[in-house]
């Protein structure tokens, strides 16, 4: 259907009922006509058989030597007239009868007189012809050459047929009315799913987005339509959720950027203004200090932007390139990275080989975020401990520092975006996104990361757990 065409919306109920009633009317008319025709044919066949039986009786009487008058009398009956023309042309019985069209030509009367020969007995006076509007005639030639014509009044057949029609027509009309009522009820019941679809569509427009049809049999026509309707609603709801989440991520991104970039940008602006006010005559140490401040704040802003973009990308896509990775080797590689960045910080790695199907780059990013967080809050001269072990349910990686620790009420909040818990942590150069990014990446691997930290002033611990399906223990 083209965009400009309109959907034909004639009443489906009316069309179904009219179509079914039209077919039913045709069938009923055919049944009535066929019944009437077959009944008439049967009655006429019975009449023909009766006439043939009387002709057979006449032949038997002729063989016994019965007189023509006796033969005619035997052939005559209620509503039946008979005529016998003998070989000498004498006519007995009903003179008004005419032989059947295909009957043999009757014998001609002798020339001695019209109707009977001279000296022959006079036949009985014929009865006046009955006023018969419809007759069925049978003419046969007997063994001696005489012609017997027998006729039956067929108007009774037509009367029976008319009486049958008078009975059938009202019965058929009543049956059609009952059928129309039953059909209307059946169609109404059959169209209930369509009314349900209409109700669901209207309820969705009022805000009930979770309403579904849930057909019990999706293989039927209406069930298939209802299933497709539910699939469409699921797709629309999913698209709406994705659109809403995308808008929320975008809004959160700009909110976070505006919030956290305000400080470094303000620092750069303040240092630049101070440098301009100092002028060329300013002390070299002052100028250098202001320039270093500008560089440090600019780097802080750049790091914030990088982390914000990374967080946005991670939330947008969950594509992982997994492969078997030895977690202990991955931890040792990150420990080497920390030693290069902060030679004064020692990283102790504890654990045996545990192979997991993970995205090496993403999991390295998780470890880097955790160890960088520990490094920033670890007192000088103390170690960071990273332990790896296989468990009955998967693998566990624990990163522990010896800093101020995290209070129990804050151990979940630290994974929120842009969260810094206290002045000591707020004074660090972190963006407040590292732990949020780490949790997102671990959950994309089917695992979880929690802060199981120690009590305040005793350090904090962050525990990563990966499910068993991702893990290959050393003994396996």
Least confident span in 32-36, 42-46, 303-307: 303-307
- Calculate mean pLDDT across residues 64-87: 86
| pLDDT for residue 461 is more than 50 | yes
Structure-token pair, residue 185 = 């009820």
| pLDDT for residue 125 is more than 60 | no
Confidence category of residue 276, pLDDT binned at 50, 70, 90: confident
What pLDDT does residue 387 have? 94
Tokens 């704040």 belong to residue? 297
* Yes or no: domain 209-317 corresponds to CATH 1.10.287.130: yes
| pLDDT for residue 331 is more than 90 | yes
Confidence category of residue 463, pLDDT binned at 50, 70, 90: very high
What pLDDT does residue 100 have? 62
pTM above 0.75, yes or no: no
- Calculate mean pLDDT across residues 52-64: 86
- Calculate mean pLDDT across residues 262-271: 77
Least confident span in 96-100, 104-108, 113-117, 196-200: 113-117
Q: Is 346 helix (H, G, I), strand (E, B) or coil?
A: strand
DSSP 218: T
DSSP 285: H
- Calculate mean pLDDT across residues 85-114: 67
Per-residue model confidence as pLDDT tens digits over 209-256: 777 777 777 787 777 877 888 888 888 888 888 788 777 767 776 776
What pLDDT does residue 130 have? 45
What pLDDT does residue 398 have? 93
| Residue 444 burial class via C-beta count within 10 angstroms: exposed 0-12, middle 13-18, buried 19 and up | middle
Contacts of 457 (CB under 8 A, 6+ apart): 404, 405
Confidence category of residue 129, pLDDT binned at 50, 70, 90: very low
What pLDDT does residue 249 have? 65
Contacts of 122 (CB under 8 A, 6+ apart): 116
Least confident span in 137-151, 161-175, 407-421: 407-421
| pLDDT for residue 119 is more than 50 | no
Confidence category of residue 122, pLDDT binned at 50, 70, 90: very low
State the chain's mean pLDDT as an integer. 78
320-472: CATH, from 3.30.565.10, 3.30.70.1400, 2.30.42.10, 3.20.19.10: 3.30.565.10
Q: Which region, left, alpha or beta, applies to residue 128 given φ > 0 means left and ψ of -120 to 50 means alpha?
A: beta
| CB distance 421 to 414 below 8 Å | yes
| pLDDT for residue 363 is more than 80 | yes
Characterize 386-407 residue by residue with b for buried, 16 or more Cβ atoms within 10 angstroms of its Cβ, and e for exposed.
Answer: bbbebeeebbbbbbbbbbbbbe
- Calculate mean pLDDT across residues 63-68: 86
What pLDDT does residue 315 have? 65
- Calculate mean pLDDT across residues 335-358: 88
What pLDDT does residue 450 have? 92
Question: In the chain, what percentage of residues exceed pLDDT 90?
Answer: 7
| pLDDT for residue 467 is more than 90 | no
Cβ atoms within 10 Å of 20's Cβ, excluding its own: 16
Residue 76, φ and ψ in degrees, nearest 5 = -85, 145
Per-residue model confidence as pLDDT tens digits over 28-41: 888 888 888 888 88
What pLDDT does residue 472 have? 55
| pLDDT for residue 350 is more than 70 | yes
Cβ atoms within 10 Å of 227's Cβ, excluding its own: 18
- Give the whole-angstrom CA distance, residue 279 versus residue 274: 9
| pLDDT for residue 456 is more than 70 | no
| pLDDT for residue 140 is more than 70 | yes
| pLDDT for residue 193 is more than 70 | yes
DSSP per residue, 58-118: HHHHHHTT--HHHHHHHH-BTTEEEEEE-TTS-EEE-TT----TTSPPPPPPPTTSSSS-T
Confidence category of residue 318, pLDDT binned at 50, 70, 90: low
What pLDDT does residue 50 have? 84
């Amino acid at each position: 259907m083209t965009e400009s065409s309109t959907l034909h919306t004639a009443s489906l109920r009316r069309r179904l009922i009219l179509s079914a009633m039209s077919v039913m009317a045709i069938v009923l008319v055919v049944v009535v006509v066929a019944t009437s025709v077959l009944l008439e044919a049967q009655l006429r066949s019975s009449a023909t058989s009766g006439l043939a039986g009387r002709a057979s009786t006449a032949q038997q009487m002729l063989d016994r030597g019965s007189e023509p008058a006796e033969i005619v009398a035997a052939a005559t009956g209620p509503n039946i007239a008979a005529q016998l023309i003998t070989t000498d042309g004498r006519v007995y019985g009903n003179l008004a009868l005419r032989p059947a069209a295909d009957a043999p030509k009757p014998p001609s009367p002798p020339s001695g007189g019209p109707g009977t020969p001279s000296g022959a007995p006079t036949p009985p006076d014929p009865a006046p012809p009955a006023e018969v509007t419809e007759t069925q005639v049978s003419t046969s030639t007997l063994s001696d050459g005489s012609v017997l014509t027998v006729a039956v009044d067929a108007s009774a057949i037509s009367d029976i047929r008319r009486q049958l029609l008078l009975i059938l027509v009202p019965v058929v009309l009543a049956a059609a009315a009952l059928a129309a009522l039953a059909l209307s009820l059946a169609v109404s019941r059959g169209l209930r799913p369509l009314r349900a679809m209409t109700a669901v569509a209207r309820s969705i427009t009022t805000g009930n987005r979770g309403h579904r049809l849930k057909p019990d049999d999706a293989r039927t026509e209406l069930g298939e339509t209802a299933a497709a309707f539910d699939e469409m609603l699921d797709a629309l709801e999913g698209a709406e959720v994705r659109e809403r989440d995308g808008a929320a991520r975008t809004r959160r991104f700009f909110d976070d950027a505006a919030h956290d970039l305000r400080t470094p940008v303000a620092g750069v602006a303040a240092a630049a203004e101070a440098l301009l006010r100092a002028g060329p005559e300013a002390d070299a140490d002052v100028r250098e200090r202001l320039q270093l401040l500008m560089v440090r704040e600019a780097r802080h802003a750049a790091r914030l932007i990088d982390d914000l973009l990374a967080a946005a990308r991670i939330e947008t896509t969950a594509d992982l390139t997994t492969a078997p990775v030895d977690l202990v080797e991955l931890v040792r590689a990150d420990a080497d990275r920390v030693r290069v960045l902060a030679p004064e910080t020692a990283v102790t790695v504890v654990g045996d080989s545990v192979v997991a199907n993970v995205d090496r780059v993403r999991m390295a990013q998780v470890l880097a975020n955790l160890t960088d967080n520990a490094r920033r809050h670890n007192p000088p001269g103390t170690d960071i401990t990273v332990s790896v072990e296989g468990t009955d349910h998967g693998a566990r990686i624990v990163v522990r520092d010896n800093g101020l620790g995290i209070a129990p009420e804050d151990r979940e909040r630290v994974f929120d975006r842009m969260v810094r818990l206290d002045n000591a942590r707020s004074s660090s150069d972190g963006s407040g996104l590292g732990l949020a990014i780490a949790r997102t990446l671990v959950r994309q691997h089917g695992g979880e990361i929690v802060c199981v930290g120690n009590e305040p002033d005793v350090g904090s611990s962050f525990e990563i757990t990966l499910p068993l399906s991702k893990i290959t223990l050393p003994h396996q």
